[in-house]
Amino acid sequence: MKKLTLLLIVLMTVAAFAGCAPAAPAEPEAPAEPVQETASFDVADGVYYAQEAGFAGSGWKYNVTLEVAGGKIVDLDWNGTNVRGGDDKKTLSANGGYGMVAYGAAQSEWDVQAEAVEQYLLDTQTTEVAYTDDEGHTDAITGVSIHVTEFFNLVDEALANGAVAKGAYTDGYYYAELAEDEKGYTYLGQFQVVNGTIVGVNFNSKGKTEDGEDTSKKELGDDYNMVAFGGAQAEWYAQAEAIEAFVLDTQGLTLELNEDGKTDAIAGASIGMTQFVELFNQALK
């Protein structure tokens, strides 16, 4: 009996020590595989640009400038220029001149909403967005009530256009206007430079109608009647557009003018060039 009792004590002691023994260490987990980011846009790194073909009924023409690095859009700007010149739309809005809150009861000014749209694209890296109506509004972007279809269409167009070549000018918007002439018109020149290259030009001449309403030669269009009453080869707006195309093609407006201030160097433009050259030099030089 003594031997049996001693054996039981020994077994209980061993069991007690076994219960207190530390657990075997767990096998270390394998490190997680790094997340491989994939490019969203199959284009070369660079700066891209696109603008609408013409001024809308509101007088604005939208444009988009963006930078791509590693297949991602890393910077972009949505803006607009007005047919009658003046500040770009973001600047006008930020300075209180557009008045979308005061006069349109908007939740925030245009420049604030435009920046929210830009941030949405930077975050999502896609131009696919669900529109709620034919005007191009969307519920997908918090704080945005303006129509955004122009923006996303221009981003796609900019990427399709190819990168903007590096030019010699300083990036930004440039504007100049001359004193009112004897006919009551004020000539203006508006230029946009992206990546050192002139990418946007607007030559116009603003004035008033017989009823005293603000207008411009471009807005009058064929009703300016330079062909019918002046024997011109084309209406004023068409000739101005030919001069704009020349500036974009040559990246300048250096011309030899005759005594009447005209030149044969620009096909489709027979009007006097003095004001256009002066506007270019004032704005960009």
Which residue shows structure tokens 């803006």? 79
From 108, 139, 161, the end of a domain falls on: 161
- 275: phi then psi, degrees, rounded to nearest 5: -65, -40
When pLDDT is averaged across residues 87-93 and rounded to a whole number, the result is: 97
- The answer to whether 216 and 241 are in contact (CB under 8 A) is no
- What are 55-70's pLDDT values in tens digits? 999 999 999 999 999 9
Q: Are residues 188 and 275 in the same domain?
A: yes
Global model pTM greater than 0.75:
yes
pLDDT of residue 94: 97
Q: Are residues 71 and 154 in the same domain?
A: yes
Two structure tokens written together for 179? 């004193």
Q: Are residues 114 and 209 in the same domain?
A: no
The answer to whether position 1 is within a domain reads: no
When pLDDT is averaged across residues 66-85 and rounded to a whole number, the result is: 98
Q: Are residues 156 and 177 in the same domain?
A: no
246: exposed, middle or buried (Cβ count in 10 Å: 0-12, 13-18, 19+): buried
DSSP H helical ranges for the chain: 2-20, 89-94, 100-104, 110-124, 149-161, 217-220, 226-230, 236-250, 274-284
Separation CA 234–CA 217 (nearest Å): 13
Q: Are residues 183 and 82 in the same domain?
A: no
Closest CA to 208 of 232, 180, 246: 180
Two structure tokens written together for 79? 């803006």
The answer to whether position 208 is within a domain reads: yes
Q: Are residues 193 and 229 in the same domain?
A: yes
CATH number for the domain harbouring residue 191: 3.90.1010.20
Q: Which residues contact 175 (CB under 8 A, 6 or more apart)?
A: 85, 86, 87, 188, 189, 190, 191, 283
Task: For residue 144, give the DSSP letter.
Answer: -
Q: Are residues 187 and 210 in the same domain?
A: yes
The answer to whether position 37 is within a domain reads: no
Q: Helix, strand, or coil here: 283?
A: helix
Q: Are residues 184 and 119 in the same domain?
A: no
Q: Are residues 90 and 66 in the same domain?
A: yes
pLDDT of residue 285: 85
From 161, 194, 226, the end of a domain falls on: 161
From 161, 185, 212, the end of a domain falls on: 161
pLDDT of residue 40: 84
Number of compact structural domains in the chain? 2
Category of 81 on φ-ψ map: left (φ > 0), alpha (ψ -120 to 50) or beta: beta
The answer to whether position 28 is within a domain reads: no
CB atoms within 10 A of CB 208: 12
pLDDT of residue 25: 56
The answer to whether position 61 is within a domain reads: yes
CA 196-60-90 angle, 5° bins:
60
Cα end-to-end span (Å), the chain: 117
Q: Are residues 230 and 154 in the same domain?
A: no
**pLDDT range class, residue 24, cuts 50, 70, 90:** low
Instruction: Give the residue, 2 or 55, on which the prediction is more confident.
Output: 55
Q: Which residues contact 35 (CB under 8 A, 6 or more apart)?
A: none
Domain range for 97 is 46-161
- What are 26-49's pLDDT values in tens digits? 566 655 555 455 678 999 999 999
